[in-house]
Structure formats: C-alpha cells, structure tokens
Amino acid sequence: MKIAIIGAAGRMGQMLVKLAGEDSGLEIGAKVDVAPGFDATWPAGTEAVVDFTFHSAVPANVEKAASEGVAYVIGTTGLTQEEQARVDACAAKIPVVQAANYSLGVNLLMGLVKKAAAVLGPEYDIEIAEMHHRHKKDAPSGTALMLAHAAADGRRVDLDEVACYGRNGIVGERPEGQIALHALRGGSVVGDHSVIFAGDVERVELTHKAQGREAFAAGALHAAKWAVGKRPGKYTMQDVLGFTE
Ligand SMILES: NC(=O)c1ccc[n+]([C@@H]2O[C@H](COP(=O)([O-])OP(=O)(O)OC[C@H]3O[C@@H](n4cnc5c(N)ncnc54)[C@H](O)[C@@H]3O)[C@@H](O)[C@H]2O)c1
C-alpha cells in the first residue's frame, strides 16, 4: 500500500518514516515537509496520507486528498474551529481518521475514564493533568481534551459547561461537577496524562505514560491501512480498534 507522510522531517514524521520503512506492507511514496530536501507533495497513486504537521497546514492538504479520493489520517492537534469545519466537510468524500492520540493504551484509558466518571459521580472531583516536552505548541494537549470529553460523556454533561482550564488568583471554591485540565511543559517528556477522581475519603488516579513516539506512529500507520477502502466519513482510533462496535 502506497502512503505519503506529511511532516516527515518532524519528531513524529521521522518515527513514521522509520516504522513504515520496516513494514513490508507499506511503500512510502512521498516524504512531504516544508523543510529543505523533502517532497513538496504526494504523487498520483498514493492511497493514504498520514499527517503530523501543524494545525494551519491540515485543511488544504485534506481538501487536496478529498479531490483525489485519497484516505487521510490526521495526527496533528490544535486545529481551530474553522480548520476543523473544513476537515469535517472533506469527510463527505473520503475516509478521514482523526485522533489526538493513536496509542492503544490511551484509547483503552478513554473507556476506563468514561466508566469511572459514570460510576463515581459528581461528588468525586475530576482533575486532568498532562505533561509534555518543552517544544509542544498547543495546550492543553489534544489527548487531555479527549479524556475530558470521555469523563463528561460518562457523567452525561456538556464539557463546555463544566470545563476549567487552569487556575490563577482568587478563584473561589471548586464548584461540584467541574472538570479541570492542567498543562505542564518541560524537558523531553513524550506525553503523560493523569485523570484524578478525588472524593472525600479516597482518590482514584488513572495514568498513562508514553515511553516513546513509536506507540503513536504504529497506531497511525495501522489506521492508514484500515482506512483505505472504507466508506467516506469521520473515524476515530476507537473505530479503528473496534472499540465502538
Ligand atoms: N495524534 C497523536 O497520537 C500525536 C502524537 C504526537 C504528536 N501529535 C501531534 O502531531 C503534530 C506534530 O508533532 P511533532 O512533535 O512531530 O512536531 P514537529 O514540529 O517536530 O514536526 C512537524 C513537522 O511538520 C512540518 N510542517 C509544518 N507545516 C507544514 C506544511 N504546511 N507542509 C508540510 N510539512 C509541514 C514541519 O516542518 C515539521 O517538520 C503536533 O500537532 C502534535 O501535537 C499527535
């Protein structure tokens, strides 16, 4: 299967190139990046594009893929609402897989968080803490947002109505039902996420720590193979892993 990797010069892109190169079922048709020495775009015959770039770069590339009927896998996070709307429109023409985290462990964690939020109820305060390397440009991480949505789903509430993004100053007492997100940045941390359910007499903490970028890259390549031949539509890693069946 012929794929193109966009953002091939980046941290994730280099890992994707390495893993795809080792996979006999995949042929890298293009290594696309704005960095010197890389391809400017992908050639005809490309079956799937895997995108780990920058949010503003995503819509134009998905639109090009949609006009060519090429499946698209988005790992890039931090898209604005307008950028996301352009991506969503393309899903009428091609299969688009989009996940803020392609690792098996985090996708399992999402299910556990949803279940815990449903069982423990609003008297358990939910705090989400994430830590990433100092180069990460968006905050909170797309994965932390996914986990916050999973917790809100478990509680059957709208995240927008209960979310709190960090605290500073005289913020007053914590309201019941709030779901708070906190972003830590530093060093070379690949990606840590903890969801804490703090009750009066006990605390439950669910934590995932990525030990390398391989888990994300392997998941994204798995998603690319899965997406080719699928009907047009928006899919998540939960669909790819069969967790939604
Ligand atoms: N979904 C996941 O599992 C997952 C995992 C890790 C990172 N990410 C996300 O992936 C993205 C990339 O992360 P990274 O750490 O590899 O970043 P990075 O900065 O190391 O790499 C991004 C690359 O994209 C290239 N690029 C930027 N604009 C481009 C364009 N218009 N066309 C082609 N190439 C372009 C840059 O030159 C760079 O080489 C971020 O949004 C990050 O949050 C997602």
- pLDDT tens readout for residues 124-177: 999 999 999 999 999 999 999 999 999 999 999 999 999 999 999 999 999 999
Distance 5 CA to ligand 1 centre (A): 11
Phi, psi of 61 (to 5 degrees): -70, -40
Residue 170: burial class (beta carbons within 10 Å; 0-12, 13-18, 19+): exposed
All domains of the chain in start order, with CATH: 2-102+213-240 (3.40.50.720), 104-209 (3.30.360.10)
| Ligand 1 atom with least separation from CA of 101 | 3
Give yes or no for residue 243 having a pLDDT over 90: no
Q: How many CA atoms lie within 13 A of 217 on its CB side?
A: 23
Distance, in Å, from the CA atom of 213 to the CA atom of 208, rounded to the nearest integer, reads 14
State the distance from the centre of ligand 1 to the C-alpha of 33, rounded, in angstroms: 10
Atom 18 of ligand 1, residue of closest alpha carbon? 10
Mean pLDDT, rounded, for 91-110: 95
Cα separations (Å) of 186 from 132, 137, 189, 193, 213? 6, 12, 7, 14, 17
Active site annotation includes 193: no
- The rounded percent of the chain whose pLDDT value lies above 90 is 97
Tell me how far apart the alpha carbons of residues 157 and 170 are, in angstroms, rounded to a whole number: 26
Residue type, 129: A
Mean pLDDT, range 109-121, rounded to an integer: 95
Angular region, 160: left φ>0, alpha ψ -120 to 50, beta rest:
alpha
Distance of CA 144 from the midpoint of ligand 1 (Å): 18
pLDDT at 245 over 80: no
- Which one of 5, 12, 14, 133 would you pick to mutate in the ligand 1 pocket, going by the greatest count of ligand atoms within 8 A of its CB? 12
Residue 25: which pLDDT band, with cuts at 50, 70 and 90? very high
Q: What is the pLDDT of residue 242?
A: 86
For residue 197 and ligand 1, the question of a CB distance below 6 A is answered with no
Q: Is 136 a catalytic residue?
A: yes
pLDDT band at 33 (very low <50, low <70, confident <90, very high): very high
The pTM is what? 0.88
Percent of the chain clearing pLDDT 70 (strictly above): 100
pLDDT value, residue 28: 98
Q: What is the mean pLDDT of the chain?
A: 96
Atom of ligand 1 nearest to the CA of 78: 41
Give the Cα separation of 1 and 20 in Å (integer).
10
Nearest to 237 by CA among 112, 43, 101: 101
Q: Whose CA is nearest to atom 34 of ligand 1?
A: 33
Give the residue, by CA position, lying nearest to ligand 1 atom 33: 33
